[in-house]
Chains A and B, each alone.
Chain A
Amino acid sequence: MSINRLPTSAGLLLIVFLIQEAFINRINFFMGGFALYLAFTIAWILREERSSAILIGFISGLIADLSPTLEAPFGLWTFTMTGLAFIISNYVRGALDSSISPLALTFVTTLLSSFALILFIIFGAILGQEVSSLGVLARELIGNALWTFVLAPIYVPVAIKTHKVSLTAREK
């Protein structure tokens, strides 16, 4: 990954983070909510090479940690997203066909988004964070998965185009 891509990528991710914090969080979604930023980042990471994916995972986690309503220690999302990006680039991306159908991509993004939340909850619990009851967590996870799946036709193409915008002329 070219070092020149870092400011562009970070800027684009910051814009999505802003949309999440200022607009998406304000909507009362049915069954929990929708983590647009998380889904968008995963859809982006799925397009990246191994090193780039890890770096994008780290930057996106760092931005997610900026959320003022976050109870977890600063760095927990960074840790989670870096690890997740490694898993995606190492095990998921290689297993996916290059001509993957949009539906399959939607399924993968939804599953990985739920997996990221579960990892975050587990790491948080290990660090001593209070965890909601299983019923509440299940509702949040199912709600997020539902909306991540339903709204995928909107954000996945945007994530793919945004990823292309972030590429340098040489990488294109």
Chain B
Amino acid sequence: MATRGTNRARLLLVTLLVTSLLLITLDLRGVSLVSSVRGFTQTALTPFQSFGSSLLSPIGQLFSDLFNINNTRERIAELEDENQELKAQVILNEDIQGELKQLKGVLDLAGKAKFRTVSARVISKGGTATISETIVIDQGSKAGIKRDMTVIAASGLVGVVKSTTTNAAVVMLMSDPSFRIGVRIAGSQFMGVLSGEGQGIFSLQMLSAAAQISVGDVLLSRGSSGDAPFVPGVPVGKITFVENAAGQLTKQARVQSFVDLNSIGVVSVVLDSLGNNPGDALVPAAPRPAPTVTVFVTPSPSE
């Protein structure tokens, strides 16, 4: 009897494994039925994700904050001083204020570049089980969003639209390991390819052996044919470390993105660049040094 049960289980296992391999094969061969299943799931999930986003937005950072409690204590003293000032603003929802700030920033960036954009809220992120760096936004094909459109935030590039449904879109973040973008260095115009390596780590490979790069250089998107997937001139990041290993044909560097991909709440999808190439106009302004005051004191003659 036990052998019969074992054989039955093995037969079931083989059947189900073959079925799953068939599903993988169908998906890799681009069968539309299989790929549209995820689109349907996204459509069904969007209302729940929007609800979850509004519900969890204020406590989304709770777990990471708990582990930084020592640093937080030092901040408490500073924050207590600011408490009185903040009481006046308590009537306003801080979360909404943050989103408005991000929205203003991203609209300023899009306006400066004269891009036609549509703004959207981030309603979900890719989970651990997906092993991919993605976010879900609450605007989709109904708002004119299509696959392979550039997604920006207040400080620069966020990623590219991977798929859309009527009311939502999945955006591949620039930190995803499969993400590649052609970039140029603001000013010198040397070109390279930036790739994501997960968790906010980026590497830059220059195309020319003669390219001169240095720490602090700003990278801008080079743009793609027909503006898909990337419109030109969007700030991507700045070089933090140049690798000078012997035997390298071209220079490589580590890059820090302008956008903090872990805390984006509002983004804009570039629907159309309207033929504009902003050149280096979107390069973030360097922080202004604090004004100094010189006081000359002339000693009064002693009596």
Contacts and interface: CB of A to CB of B under 8 A. Distances in A.
A35 B129 contact: yes
B100 to A, nearest CB: 20
B177 A131 contact: yes
Contacts of A124: 131
A23 B197 contact: no
Contacts of B61: 28
B56 interface: yes
Most buried by B among A37, A75, A79, A129: A75
Say whether chain B's binding surface is mostly helix, strand, loop, or mixed. Answer: helix
Contact of B21 (A51, A79, A129): A79
B127 A35 contact: yes
B79 interface: no
B164 to A, nearest CB: 10
Nearest to A128: B28
B160 to A, nearest CB: 13
Contacts of A54: 9, 12-13, 16
Interface string B24-46: 11111000001101110110010
Interface in A32-87: 32-35, 37-38, 50-51, 54-55, 57-58, 61, 64-79, 82-83, 86
A42 to B, nearest CB: 12
A130 B24 contact: no
Contacts of B9: 50-51, 54, 86, 89
B64 interface: yes
A139 B125 contact: no
A107 interface: no
Contact of A78 (B23, B132, B136, B198): B23
B296 interface: no
B74 to A, nearest CB: 19
Given A22-B48, A75-B21, A69 B124 contact: yes
A72 to B, nearest CB: 7
Given A75-B22, A82-B16, 7 more contacts: A21-B127, A50-B9, A66-B38, A127-B28, A132-B198, A137-B198, A143-B128
Interface of A: 18, 20-30, 32-35, 37-38, 50-51, 54-55, 57-58, 61, 64-79, 82-83, 86, 89, 117, 120-121, 124, 127, 129-133, 136-137, 139-140, 143-144
7 contacts: A23-B52, A25-B126, A26-B56, A27-B62, A70-B38, A78-B16, A133-B197
